[in-house]
Structure 1
Amino acid sequence: MNRYNNPFPFSDDNKRYHTWNHYLKHRFHTKVAKVPLDAGFTCPNRDGTKGWGGCTFCTAAGSGDTIPSHEDLAVQFEQGLAQMRRKWPGCDAIAYFQAYTNTYAPLERLQECFDPFVERADVCALAIATRADCLSKEAIAYLCRLAEQKEIWVELGLQSIHDATAEAIHRGHGYQDFLTCVQRLSQTPLKICVHLINSLPGEDVPMMIESARTVGSLPIHAVKLHMLHLMKGTQLAQSYAAHPFHLLSMSEYVDLIVAQLEVLPAHIIIQRLTGDGLSRDLLAPLWTQKKVQVLNEIDKAMVRRNTWQGRCL
């Protein structure tokens, strides 16, 4: 127990879950910031291979945090790192290939994008957002070679373990495809992070908790938990306008996150508990823009209930 009377072992402060900041601090012994990049990839769910228009929640920007960039990757990185260093002078960076599906291209294209960042002294790791159905054996072997030089994170967008939900949001692959991919990756030095979205249409709280519990039982390293954002121009926003479904309130979301954390093993890193939707395009729920308040409410709820990540396992 630390000086905050916190029973959770992977914490240096009042957090009762295994934060990304805690991991980075103990892994790299310096401040590390993620620099998001748009490498101009697309997705099999957009180009007609598996569908058109992407998943129903996905924006034209590929659900990235930033506006799509037409700048060279090196320019994007320099601009992003400069912005981060205004907040954290001298910080190192994770080159975060975020928009769309960042392994959905020939090997030569992946090498053009990733190799320059592995060579940079100010980059301590790469994070590559992709889909479970877009990681060929060739791509995995290439990423493993990169992992001999830098830490490589593969971020898999799963969203839900429930195939009925995947079909409803036009995901384009099922849970078994995801499991097969995780099994392959677990035999490598690559780090695995899984994305889950809460409040998808048709899902109740027990289903969302089941997704967290099930993913937590797999050989992964981290998760990202997000509230669903209804964004302008998406298929889901249009569907919601015609047939509204329940979106979790802030208090409901806090309760859910606490319950999900309780069924995630303590060693699993929690990279995110909230998402960032561009405010100009966010239709609902508007409370998700109050990121600091949401995180504070989660902290307070865990202290009030004297609970912590993994307590219910």
Structure 2
Amino acid sequence: MRKPYREYKQFLTEKFGCRVHKISLDAGLTCPNRDGTAGTGGCIYCNARGSGTGAHERALSIREQIDNSMEYLRKRFKAEKFLAYFQSFSNTYAPLPRLKSLYEEALSVKDVVGITIGTRPDCVNEEILDYLAFLQKRTYLCLEYGLQSAHDRTLKIINRGHDVATFVKAVDATRRLNIPVCVHVILGLPGETEEDMLETAKFLAGLDIQAIKIHVLYVIKDTVLEQMYLKGQYKCLEREDYVRIAARFLACLPPHVVIQRVTGDPHRNELVAPSWTLEKQKNIAMLVDYMETNNLKQGSWFKKSFASISQALTGVSRNSKS
């Protein structure tokens, strides 16, 4: 059944003509917000694994990680082709020769039809982007930028280590080279109201982006956020609030943007709260039901005037060459 939003699975099937599945990879890289370059200690919700699988610590090469995942994904999801997803930490945060080696290793594996690269907007430069533009001439490639919120005050609270203007400049530079961009956002960040979250949606609706991942903030062990939660300084979103806000968030987005994710997917043994985030399929079903019941779909509230909101929130033109 078609979702009331442009589902990633459908996009990949249309593009490649078969079932394509992402394989999450851990390249053993780090982040400027953890090594002290951009900040101290990392984002408040991130632990030492950085959303990783721990595969690098187990001394598994990129090829071994892909080979190990392929067999399972073929059986479980009937996948025929695969995207190598460099997920853990910031996957453009290394010297270019090392990055080339990692990406080329992934692309050398049979049935890998492209790569997606998770990173931060302060971790790209002209040299890296020029190489990625060259690489995408021979394969599918998407660059995934973590933004989380369009509000600088929120980025300071979560210790993000960069501002919204940095994100806008990175997106502009990436799109000038025609590299597809996916943006990560988080619903339920400390201090944000529903209006704040919908402003983030409207901000993104005014940018030249091709995909979005919507996460819900959950508390995991060994993070600053866990300490805030235990002290009563942070309250998690209730499921019903997440469903309502996510539905309205999607309604603000332009219809062409691919929705790669609509909820979080925590590791069970790391999760502190809320427990409902473990019920991924139920959460998605509730979201779809809410949208259908309230006659909402992706793009229902989209207006081209949202572009002016993008500029107002950042103070930087999205067409800036700087």
The TM-score range, normalised by the shorter chain, is over 0.9
Residue in 2 that maps onto 1:52:
40
Pair 161,38 (structure 1): closer, same or farther in 2 beyond 3 Å: same
Q: 1:239 and 1:288 mapped to 2: Cα distance?
A: 19
2:194 to 195, 205, 221: 205
Q: Which shows bigger deviation, 100-109 or 303-312?
A: 303-312
Say if 1:144 and 1:188, in contact at 8 Å, map to a contact too.
yes
Q: Which residue number corresponds to residue 21 of structure 2?
A: 33
**Residue 181 of structure 1 aligns with which residue?**
170
Structure 2 match to 1:19: 7
The one-letter code sitting in structure 2 at the alignment partner of 1:77 is I
Once the two structures are TM-superposed, the CA of residue 68 in structure 1 deviates from its matched residue by 4.3
Confirm or deny that 1:172 pairs with 2:166. no
Which residue in 2 is equivalent to 1:75? 64
Inter-partner Cα distance in structure 1 for 2:147 and 2:87 = 15
Task: Give the conservation status (yes or no) of the 8 Å contact 1:55–1:170.
Answer: yes
Give the secondary-structure state (helix, strand or coil) at the position aligned to 1:206.
Answer: helix
Distance in 2 between residues matched to 1:90 and 1:182, nearest whole Å = 31
How big is the shift at 1:90?
Answer: 5.1
Instruction: Indicate whether 1:299 and 2:299 are aligned.
Output: no
Q: Deviations over 1:97-151 (max 9, x none)?
A: 0000000000111011001223344111101000000001000011111101111
Greater than 3 Å deviation, 4+ residue runs: none
Q: Which amino acid aligns with 2:95?
A: P
Deviations 1:143-174 (A, max 9, x none): 11110111111000000010011111110000
Counterparts of 1:80-119 in structure 2, within 5 Å, are: 80-89=69-78, 91-119=80-108
Aligned mates of 1:228, 1:274 — CA distance in 2: 9
Please show how residues 127-276 of structure 1 align to structure 2 within 5 Å. Answer: 127-276=116-265
List per-residue Cα deviations over 1:23-65 (Å, max 9, x = no partner).
001111100010000000001011111223211111111123x
SS at match of 2:176: coil
Q: Which amino acid aligns with 1:125?
A: G
1:125 matched to 2:114? The reply is yes
Task: State the SS of the aligned residue for 1:132.
Answer: coil
Q: Distance in 2 between matches of 1:52 and 1:237?
A: 17
* Rounded Cα–Cα distance in structure 2 between residues aligned with 1:88 and 1:251: 29
- Tell me, in whole angstroms, the C-alpha distance in 2 between the residues paired with 1:296 and 1:275: 14
CA contact (8 A) 1:212 1:264 kept: yes
C-alpha distance in 2 between matches for 1:89 and 1:270: 21
Query: Unmatched 5+ residue regions in structure 1?
Result: 1-12
Q: Percent identity?
A: 37
Q: How many residues align?
A: 300
The residue identity in structure 2 corresponding to 1:182 is: V
Higher mean alpha-carbon deviation, 168-177 vs 237-246, is at 237-246
* 227-236 or 84-93, which deviates more: 84-93
User: By how many angstroms is 1:72 displaced?
Assistant: 1.1
Distance in 1 separating the partners of 2:44 and 2:290: 32
1:229 positional shift:
1.3
Counterpart residue type for residue 92 of structure 2: T
